[in-house]
Chain A
């Protein structure tokens, strides 16, 4: 689960991670009040959406830049009007973009130097890892590729937690000393505590900055949480912004379906994440384009299958559907019954290819055959994929 920058920074402050002072507004009337809470002087105006590349983004009204530096609060007030309610398109939003519903005003800090700091899971060692670099404000993958010597990694022993010597060592590598070193040590320790205590999946600060007066501040904040752990963090769940999510994905999550919209025209309904991914792959392999990832999971009920069909058909790009079920846990006849009822309920007119295999497959196939529906049976995944690609061509 992702949260906005302003929410992440509120969490940072709660855990003692220093950030520039900031306030938010969700309507133009609130701009003045929000800005009144900040000192006079240079101010940043930041569009709040769940996507990176905001500064280089363009609004659909032609205005360029979703993050702007303003010399005065008066300028910031005028600037915010260009962003709020507008749709911002960045490298990460796709062409549709995201509507800006919140403006975040912050004090524009004097920057001495920019750094990169992130905490995430290192899969190879199953431990948290801190990743830091002297090259802040850059695309970190580019840094890793071009100048790996400027990237530092610190693995944390989960039984002990972050050790002081590790922090000292990292700070030395980053070239920090004096007040900067002291402030950076506090920030790193507190950021790790936040990562651990909130079950974060990733915390990324890019850039982390030093100021001429020795402060160390998180200038930006990107935080995501482990969705498996949300049950024990109601305070995090409360931060979820449904405006940032695809309505079809929200609908799917109500039925415990795992759905991700793509831009192709062949929808798929599959059980199991690996099989769902490879069903998308095989559609492409035979010249088609997948419209979605949809895993109905192991215990899919008839209602779930009906819901899955409705979600699939809510995408106007869909020209055909491929159902691919290998029943390990699930009963193929449950799927078949769900398909028949769903097709009847939604009055499906699109080509439908169904490939069933596994648990109780004979009964499942019989249910499909007896339904009188105009569906095409596929024997193998390859056979089914070729058939649906041909039908939508």
Chain B
């Protein structure tokens, strides 16, 4: 089993008639993903046509879900409307909403997250590359690609990847695939300070997934989500875990205010997070080029086979 999504998962694309959403809907269709509906208010009844595909467009997420049985939606709508798009997924009772949109005001996300308390819908993102569960075809086609990741770099297998950064996720996946190590699911949780799903949420899913034999955890400076995940791993996860933290050379105070560090604690520099990783038995990649090798070292130490 993969986590969150499988090749059978039916997907709605919110913003399918926009350039960005349309382009990636096509790439997902090429990948073999079950893109079953689009949503653009006011364009219900039209179709998104691409090659042999004719994807129906609905006015609302609820209509799309009801008509197609889709349980997941991916959001490409512009920042001023993105919070509303997420809440529409919650209202429609979807299992999962994946928000790709970058630039959503923090206040909107604070309110969305509060409104989602107790809801069944999980949010991944925003400002994230999405999720890929590779398929069994050539270049992993036949899988489920939600978002903007390059599908072809994946390979079906047994490693879970979770990251705040899109391009660093691709970097890790590319290294794994180049070494003939496949992935169960790769999850981009996004780079915003307020997001729906954090490292720990994904780590718990990977830990519970029997098909996932090893995990790569990619983080960066700011916040304490990586530290929280690392401490849980130390206490609960027997699987090999490799970690990387970006931002060792980032100038202090440029991305977060002075008082931001005080609430997060003294744990949000790269050096501090790396120290916690080491203390928690996570094999640290010295450079981004070392991520797959770091996982191989961790797996070897635990006698776990990744392929």
**Distance, CA A270 to CA B168, complexed state (A):** 11
A111 CB to nearest B CB, Å: 22
Q: What's the Cα separation between A201 and B193 when bound, in Å?
A: 11
- Are A280 and B250 touching (Cβ within 8 A)? yes
Nearest-neighbour CB distance to chain B for A167, whole angstroms, equals 19
Decide yes or no whether A56 CB sits under 8 A from chain B.
Answer: no
In the assembled complex, the Cα of A129 lies from the Cα of B163 at a distance in Å of: 26
Residues of B within 8 A of A326 (CB): 167, 170-171, 174
Q: B193 and A272: CB pair below 8 A?
A: no
With both beta carbons as reference points, the residue of chain B lying nearest to A384 in the complex is identified as: B289
Q: Is A52 an interface residue (CB 8 A)?
A: yes
A271 at the interface (CB under 8 A from B): yes
Asked if A358 and B170 sit within 8 Å, CB to CB, the answer is: yes
Chain A, range 231-245, C-beta contacts under 8 Å to B: 231-232
Do B246 and A159 have beta carbons less than 8 Å apart? no
Given A122-B263, A123-B264, A327-B150, residue A381 in contact with residue B171 (CB < 8 A): yes
The answer to whether A158 and B261 touch across the interface, beta carbons within 8 angstroms, is no
Residues of B within 8 A of A120 (CB): 257, 259-260, 263
Instruction: Please name all residues of chain A whose beta carbon is closer than 8 Å to the beta carbon of B249 when the two chains form the complex.
Output: 262, 277, 280-281, 283-284, 290
Within 8 A of B (CB), among A322-354: 326-329
Within 8 Å CB of A151, what residues of B?
Answer: 262
Complex: A359 Cα to B150 Cα, angstroms:
7
Tell yes or no: A220 within 8 A of B by CB: no
Interface membership of A382, Cβ < 8 A = yes
With A121-B106, A158-B114, A274-B163: A228-B79 Cβ-Cβ less than 8 Å: yes
A-contact 0/1 string along B243-269, CB 8 Å cutoff = 010111111011001111111101000
Q: Are B79 and A141 in contact (CB under 8 A)?
A: no
A202: interface (CB < 8 Å) = yes
A108 interface residue, CB < 8 Å from B? Answer: no
CA distance A150 to B12 in the complex (A): 51
Contacting residue for A329 out of B113, B115, B148, CB 8 A: B148
* CB closest chain-B residue, reference A325: B167
Partner of B153, one of A199, A202, A358: A358
Choice from A126, A128, A129, A228 contacting B103 with Cβ under 8 Å: A228
Which A residues are CB-close (under 8 A) to B220?
273-274, 277
A94-128 Cβ-contact flags toward B at 8 Å (1 or 0): 00000000000000000000000010111110111
Query: Which chain A positions have C-beta within 8 A of B250?
Result: 277, 280, 293
Q: Which single residue of chain A is at the shortest CB-CB distance from B257? A: A202
Q: Give the residue name and chain of the A residue nearest to B117 (CB).
A: A159
Task: Identify which of A124, A231, A274, A382 contacts B289 (C-beta below 8 A).
Answer: A382
Among B103, B150, B153, B225, residue most surrounded by chain A Cβ atoms (within 10 Å): B150
**With A and B bound together, what is the CA distance between A270 and B259 in angstroms?**
29
Do the beta carbons of A328 and B109 come within 8 Å of each other? no
Question: Given known contacts A202-B257, A229-B105, A381-B171, is B110 in contact with A284 (CB within 8 Å)?
Answer: no
Query: Binary interface profile of B, 97-138, with partner A (CB < 8 Å = 1, else 0)?
Result: 000001111111111011100000000000001000000000
Which residues from B are CB-within-8-Å of A385?
A: 287
A40 contacts partner chain B, Cβ-Cβ < 8 Å: no
Q: Does any Cβ of A come within 8 Å of B165's Cβ? A: yes
A92 interface residue, CB < 8 Å from B?
Answer: yes
A131 interface contact, C-beta 8 A: yes
Interface positions of B from 280 to 303, Cβ below 8 Å from A: 286-290
- Nearest to A281 among chain B residues (CB) is B248
In this assembly, does A173 line the interface, its C-beta being within 8 Å of a C-beta of chain B? no
Contacts of A293 in B (CB 8 A): 250
Question: CA separation between A39 and B177, bound complex, in Å?
Answer: 73
Q: Name the contact of B262 in the complex, choosing from A126, A128, A140, A272 (C-beta under 8 A).
A: A140
Please count how many residues in chain B sit with their CB below 8 Å of the partner chain's CB atoms.
Answer: 65
Q: What's the nearest-Cβ distance from chain A to residue B88, in Å?
A: 18
A226 close to B150 (CB less than 8 A): no
Query: Which chain B residues lie closer than 8 Å to A121 at the CB level?
Result: 106, 110, 193-194, 260
Chain B residues, Cβ within 8 Å of A275: 165, 167-168, 171, 246, 288
Chain A nearest CB from B257 CB (Å) reads 4
In the bound complex, residues from chain B placing their C-beta under 8 Å from that of A299 are: 20
Cβ-defined contact, A229 with B106, below 8 A: yes
- Asked if B149 is at the interface (CB within 8 A of a chain A CB), the reply is yes
B166 to chain A, nearest CB (A): 5
**Mask: chain B, 156-196; 1 = CB below 8 Å from A; 0 = not:** 00000001111110110010000000000000000101100
Chain A residue with Cβ nearest B175: A380
Report how far A182 CA is from B261 CA in the complex, Å: 30
**Taking the complex as formed, is B89 at the interface, i.e. its CB lies under 8 A from any CB of chain A?**
no
Q: Does A212 contact B (CB under 8 A)?
A: no
Q: Which residues of A contact B191 (CB under 8 A)?
A: 273-274
Q: Known contacts A128-B110, A231-B80, A326-B174; decide if A140 and B148 are in contact (CB<8 Å).
A: no
Closest to B130 in A: A328
Q: Which residues of A sit under 8 angstroms from B72, Cβ to Cβ?
A: none
Q: How far is the CB of A126 from chain B (nearest CB, A)?
A: 5
Residue of B nearest to A133 (CB): B262
Are A328 and B166 in contact, with the CB atoms below 8 A? yes
| B28 sits at the interface (CB 8 A) | no
**Cβ-defined contact, B260 with A199, below 8 A:** no
**Which chain A positions have C-beta within 8 A of B108?**
229
Segment 61-119 of B: residues with Cβ below 8 Å from A: 79-80, 102-111, 113-115
Give me 6 A-to-B residue pairs in the complex whose CB atoms sit less than 8 angstroms apart, sorted by A's number: A120-B263, A140-B258, A159-B115, A204-B259, A277-B249, A328-B166
